Amino acid sequence: MSVMSSVLFLAQVQPVPSPAPAKIDPPALDAVWPILIVLAAACVGVLFEAFLPRHQRWPAQVALSLLALAGAGVALATYLSDAPEAGEMAMFNTLAVDRPALFLWGTLLALSVGAVLLIADRSVEPGGAFVATAAIRPGTVQDRAQVTATGMQTEVFPLTLFALGGMMIFCAANDLLTMFIALEVLSLPLYLMCGLARRRRLLSQEAAVKYFLLGAFASAFFLYGVALLYGYAGSVRLADISAAAAGTDRSDTLLFAGMGLLVVGLLFKASVGPFHTWTPDVYQGAPTPVTAFMAACTKVAAFGGILRVLQVAFESTQWEWRGVLWGVAIASMVIGAILGLTQTDVKRMIAYSSVAHAGFLLIGAIALTDRGLSGTLFYLLTYGFTTLAAFGVISLVRDSSGEATHLSQWAGLAKRSPLVAGVFTFLLLALAGIPLTSGFVGKFVVFEAAIDDGMAPLVVIALVASAVAAFFYLRVIVLMYFSEPAADGPTVTVPGAFTTAAITLGVLVTLLLGILPSFALDWAAGGAFAIR
């Protein structure tokens, strides 16, 4: 009897007279086509890996990736022509497709074109910058045999597209759960791609492991923050958190503990301030095209997320947390500028420069005004293209063992190749923020917005930091022009069409945004975040 009743009891768990569930309408897709195209192309790319013979994969993957980026760009432009001014919610309110999100999507797509071109290049390094078979252990007989093998792991193309899809979703995520999954979708392919370098494989794999472990740690912080904020607001939606923080008598401990952990996770991805420790090692160890992709696109996506979280969810509590982020921004600028001075490796130097730039960007992000938003968006656009082209140039200076990244090897480069030295000088001046380059305009709009929002002391510190940072850019320029080239110095490879196109794209945008920034500034100032 008792066992029977127990079974019956189990059977009765769902009440019998259940009302018919509400009919779920399929979501409207017109706003999210760019994301869907990128993710679908990534899946098709995986199928290419499975079914195409080895020699056909590279052309097929390159064509597919570029087509997908072009298709997503066209979809974005079509949507943009009649997008609602205030933005709209897509996919059952999980994505907020508003003006900042659309601007970031456009930036990410354009930067990815350059990154995919760099990744696809096979002329600078014969066979491409990626290892032919990653599963062969470094240093073995088989590994030495595959050094001469042409061919690469063409899986990097779908992985790049997956990462791009994750970044686009990350910028537009309207709730923290979607944001977390997008964070993982963008990170996981990057961890993998870091470890696939053709030369100096141990360094590359070390970079991948470091990035993976620290990234997992940061994701845990993010997730814990999400859990605490859910405990506070009873919802993971940014607008609900904002509403809960605006007018309740709930305990602030959960809110600020959750926000702190969440922001640590975000700042890690953006390689800001004291959370930057992975940046130099990973930038140095990863294959240079991946470094370019990571430096440009991850920064854009991470700051897109930071901007949205700060402006949408935590604007009402800004007086409590703003001081902390002031400190973080100062730390980031000081660390980037001072440690950048001591570097002897070009890639590490650019990595520390990216930490300093992250500090400048954070200044724009904590100025919670429309001008702060548009200035930060514009800065992201300029910084992405400049960095992309800079890493493209770095990949050209080579000696017999691969890229010659040590600064002493760059001495007298202008005498060997005036063009490459000239282009690199221009890019370094843009990173330093000299007028007539996009970097100047970017810094100008961000600092202007910060002063408007009453952060003049922070701007003074930022100006000092940019002066210090300008010193180490100028040091490289002096080294290239006024030193005698070493006898056994590196040679400058004449790049093929792909790398040339990527570098040209970066340099042209840097120049164009330096001379005629107004059209891009107008785009960036198109509208604020949609809060719903």
Binding residues for another protein (CB under 8 A): 1-10, 12-15, 17-19, 21-22, 24, 27, 39, 42-43, 46, 49, 91-95, 132-136, 141-142, 145-146, 149, 153, 155, 158-159, 162, 165-166, 169, 177-178, 181-182, 184-185, 188-189, 191-192, 195-196
Nearer to another protein, 308 or 357 (CB): 308
CB of 411 to another protein, least distance (A): 38
Nearer to another protein, 91 or 476 (CB): 91
CB of 21 to another protein, least distance (A): 6
Rounded CA gap, 460 and 254, in Å? 34
CB of 2 to another protein, least distance (A): 4
DSSP 162-182: HHHHHHHHHHHBSBHHHHHHH
DSSP 313-343: ISGGGHHHHHHHHHHHHHHHHHHHHHHHHT-
Residue 153 backbone zone (phi > 0: left; psi -120 to 50: alpha; other: beta): beta
Nearer to another protein, 43 or 220 (CB): 43
CB of 201 to another protein, least distance (A): 12
Rounded CA gap, 482 and 414, in Å? 8
CB of 100 to another protein, least distance (A): 19
Rounded CA gap, 374 and 292, in Å? 24
Nearer to another protein, 25 or 249 (CB): 25
Nearer to another protein, 43 or 63 (CB): 43
476 near 407, Cβ under 8 Å? yes
At CB < 8 A and 24+ separation, what contacts does 184-192 make?
184/219, 186/298, 186/301, 187/163, 187/215, 187/219, 187/269, 188/162, 189/159, 189/160, 189/162, 189/163, 190/163, 190/290, 190/293, 190/294, 190/298, 191/215, 192/159
Q: How many CB atoms are closer than 10 A to CB 386?
A: 29
Nearer to another protein, 141 or 487 (CB): 141
Nearer to another protein, 5 or 400 (CB): 5
Nearer to another protein, 129 or 182 (CB): 182
Nearer to another protein, 132 or 339 (CB): 132
Sheet holding 397-399, edge to edge: 402-403, 397-399, 491-492
CB of 400 to another protein, least distance (A): 25
Nearer to another protein, 93 or 318 (CB): 93
CB of 431 to another protein, least distance (A): 32
**Angle (deg, nearest 10), helices 201-233 and 278-285:** 140
CB of 110 to another protein, least distance (A): 22
514 near 440, Cβ under 8 Å? yes
CB of 159 to another protein, least distance (A): 7
Q: What DSSP element (H or E) covers 80?
A: helix 54-81
Token couple for 36: 């869907």
Nearer to another protein, 189 or 439 (CB): 189
Rounded CA gap, 164 and 144, in Å? 33
Rounded CA gap, 32 and 29, in Å? 5
Nearest-10 Cα torsion for 432, 433, 434, 436? 140
Sign of CA dihedral 366, 370, 373, 374: negative
CB of 395 to another protein, least distance (A): 22
Strand-pair category, 397-399 with 402-403: antiparallel
Rounded CA gap, 503 and 500, in Å? 5
CB of 109 to another protein, least distance (A): 17
Q: What DSSP element (H or E) covers 89?
A: strand 88-90
- Could you tell me how many residues make up the chain? 532
